[in-house]
Amino acid sequence: MKRVYVNEKWCLGCHLCEYYCTFANSGVSSMVNALKDKPLRPRIRVEEHDGISFAVSCRHCKEPLCVKGCITGALSVKNGVITVDSNKCVGCYTCILSCPYGCISPDDSGHAISKCELCTKNACGEPACVKGCPNQAIVYEDRDVTDTNKEAAV
């Protein structure tokens, strides 16, 4: 399945992914209106230290600890995408406790969480972070190694 992958070799630490992500999920048609003087709530975040930078967003794990641990059933896997039903979510943050990548954050209300859903719930098409990355440090690819491929690789 296609997922978002990041390559720190090409990450410039420009943080544009965070802005394009927040905009794409704002539901507002103009980026200026969506982001000007508003708190940034990206579902992808850039880590930076000592000249190294990379963006981190939900890995959409095949064995998702967040989904398994979700106390409400708000998190579920739909066609390989881990999505959240914010109507069900009560913001207990068990998923924040569980996610080994630190990719789940409280949403604006504080009563639910927000996470990358690969832009499946907005009109973006290809994930906004991928489209907005100026250096292809974030890509949307199918890197699943199927069993037959694995054998071939061996």
Partner 1 sequence: MAIDYLYPEYEIVRDYDKCIACRVCERQCSNEAHWYDDGKGKMLCDNAKCVDCHRCVSLCPTHALKIVKSGHTFKENANWTGKTITEIYRQANSGGVLLSSMGNPEPFPVYWDKILLNASQVTNPSIDPLREPMETVTYLGKKPAKIERDENGRIKNNLSPTLKLSTPVMFSAMSYGSISYNAHESLARAASELGICYNTGEGGLHEDFYKYGPNTIVQVASGRFGVSKDYLNAGAAIEIKIGQGAKPGIGGHLPGIKVSEDISKTRMIPKGSDAISPAPHHDIYSIEDLRQLVYSIKEASDYKKPVIVKIAAVHNVAAIASGIARSGADIIAIDGFRGGTGAAPTRIRDSVGIPIELALASVDSRLREEGIRDDVGIVVGGSVRSAADLVKAIALGADACYIATAACLAMGCHLCRSCQAGKCNWGIATQRPDLVKRLNPDIGYKRLVNLVHAWDHEVKEIMGGMGINSIEALRGNRLMLRGIGLSSTELDILGIKHAGQ
Partner 2 sequence: MSRFVIIGNSAAGIGCAEGIRTVDKDSEIIIISNEPHHTYSRPLISYLLCGMTDEQRMKYRPDSFYKDNNITAMLGCTVTAVDPAAHTVSLDSGEKIKYDKLMYACGSSPFVPPMKGLDTVKNKFTFMSLDDARALDKALSPDSRVLVIGAGLIGMKCVEGIADKVKSITVVDMADRVLPSVLDADGAKLVQSAVEKHGVKFLLGDSAKELFPDKAVLNSGAEVPFDILVVAVGVRPNISLLKDAGADCNRGILTDDTMKTSLDDVYAAGDCTESFDITVKNSRILALLPNAYMQGENAGINMAGVSRSYNKAIPMNAMGMFGYHMITAGTYEGDSFCESDGTDYKKLFFKDDRLMGYIMIGDVSRAGIYTSLIREQTPLSSIDFELIKHHPQLMAFEKTERSAKLSESH
- The one of partner 1, partner 2, none whose footprint includes residue 51, by CB under 5 to 8 A per kind, is partner 1
Residue 150 binds to partner 2 (criterion: CB under 8 A): no
- The one of partner 1, partner 2, none whose footprint includes residue 32, by CB under 5 to 8 A per kind, is partner 1
Residue 14 binds to partner 1 (criterion: CB under 8 A): yes
18 exposed, middle or buried (CB, 10 Å; 0-12, 13-18, 19+)? Answer: buried
Residue 99 binds to partner 2 (criterion: CB under 8 A): yes
Ramachandran class of 151: left when φ > 0, alpha when ψ lies in -120 to 50, beta otherwise: alpha
- The answer to whether the CB of 131 falls within 8 A of the CB of 97 is no
Residue 109 binds to partner 1 (criterion: CB under 8 A): no
Rg (CA), the chain: 16
Which residues would be at the binding site for partner 1 (CB under 8 A)?
Answer: 9-10, 12-16, 19-20, 23, 31-32, 35-36, 51, 132, 134-137
